[in-house]
Amino acid sequence: MAEPKEGGRAGGGTKLNPGDAAAPGTPGTGEAICPDCEGKGRVANRPCPNCDGTGKVVAGLAGG
Torsion over CA: 18, 37, 47, 52 (sign): positive
Minimum separation from the CB atom of position 2 to Zn ion (A) = 36
- Count of residues touching Zn ion (by CB under 5 A): 6
51 touches Zn ion by CB under 5 A? yes
User: Residue 59 gets which letter from DSSP?
Assistant: E
Q: How far is CA 34 from the centre of its chain?
A: 9
Sequence length of the chain is: 64
Residues 18-37 that bind Zn ion (CB under 5 A): 34, 36-37
58 touches Zn ion by CB under 5 A? no
Q: Which residues form the interface with Zn ion (CB under 5 A)?
A: 34, 36-37, 48, 50-51
